[in-house]
């Protein structure tokens, strides 16, 4: 079920700061780079920005020859394989993943690395690059968003570690049907306070 969210700027910010929203791939132990899934720009004081967080995902693969497969609907518990076919390299849904809580992508090509991209709402939410032949990429997501103020960030692009470490607000969407995300804080001068993000007007699913 899709979750309807509405970002509201109730901050004292006068710098027209951009707000970045992303997810973390919790299948990996190490802190990996994340993609900017949603970037809210030019949203003035008192204004709002509605968007949807869909539970549905899709996956696509790029190969080392610069080719990209069509995206296919994907869920946790599924395995997708990049394989050689008479027409060239293709992606196939290949049954169940080794864990029901993971989305897995296997490179079964005889040569050439691949990259796997997971999409939510048609926008990249996670990516794994340099997957060598016979290696597997593993994705696992919880219904959690990370949100913060950032500059020089574009939707779908990798964020550097400095941006990721500066974004420390985690919003759980578990059990929600809709909610407002209210940004407060900021402002010029010595009275400025850190930006804060809180859920309000919550409707449960």
Looking from the CA of 141 toward its CB, the CA atoms found within 13 Å total 28
Query: pTM for the full model?
Result: 0.92
Q: Are 137 and 116 in contact (CB under 8 A)?
A: yes
Angle at 6 between CA 150 and CA 205, to 5 degrees: 125
Tell me what pLDDT residue 114 has: 97
Angle at 130 between CA 85 and CA 33, to 5 degrees: 135
132 CB-near residues (< 8 Å, 6+ apart): 107, 113
Q: In this predicted model, which residue has the larger pLDDT, 48 or 1?
A: 48
pLDDT, one tens digit per residue, over 56-111 is 999 999 999 999 999 999 999 999 999 999 999 999 999 999 999 999 999 999 99
Please state, in angstroms and as integers, the Cα–Cα distance from residue 177 to each residue in 53, 83, 92, following that order: 10, 39, 33
pLDDT, one tens digit per residue, over 53-71 is 999 999 999 999 999 999 9
Q: How many CB atoms lie within 10 A of CB 110?
A: 9
Nearest to residue 197, comparing CAs of 65, 2, 9, 55?
9
How many Å apart are CA 157 and CA 57, to the nearest integer?
A: 18
């Amino acid at each position: 079920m899709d979750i309807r969210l509405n970002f509201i700027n109730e901050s004292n910010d006068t710098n027209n700061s951009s707000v970045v929203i992303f997810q973390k791939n919790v299948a990996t132990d190490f802190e990996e780079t994340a993609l900017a899934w949603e970037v809210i720009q030019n949203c003035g004081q008192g204004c709002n920005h509605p968007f949807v967080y869909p539970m549905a995902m899709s996956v696509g693969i790029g190969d080392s020859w610069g080719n990209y497969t069509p995206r296919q609907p994907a869920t946790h518990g599924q395995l997708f394989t990049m394989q050689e076919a008479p027409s060239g390299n293709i992606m196939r849904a290949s049954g169940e993943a080794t864990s029901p809580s993971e989305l897995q992508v296997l490179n079964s090509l005889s040569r050439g690395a691949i990259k796997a991209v997971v999409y939510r709402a048609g926008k990249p939410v996670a990516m794994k690059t340099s997957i060598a032949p016979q290696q597997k990429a593993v994705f696992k997501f919880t219904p959690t968003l990370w949100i913060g103020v950032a500059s020089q960030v574009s939707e779908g692009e990798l964020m550097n570690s400095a941006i990721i470490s500066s974004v420390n607000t985690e919003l759980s969407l578990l059990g929600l049907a809709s909610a407002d995300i209210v940004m407060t804080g900021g402002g010029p001068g010595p009275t400025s306070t850190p930006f804060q993000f809180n859920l309000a007007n919550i409707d449960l699913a």
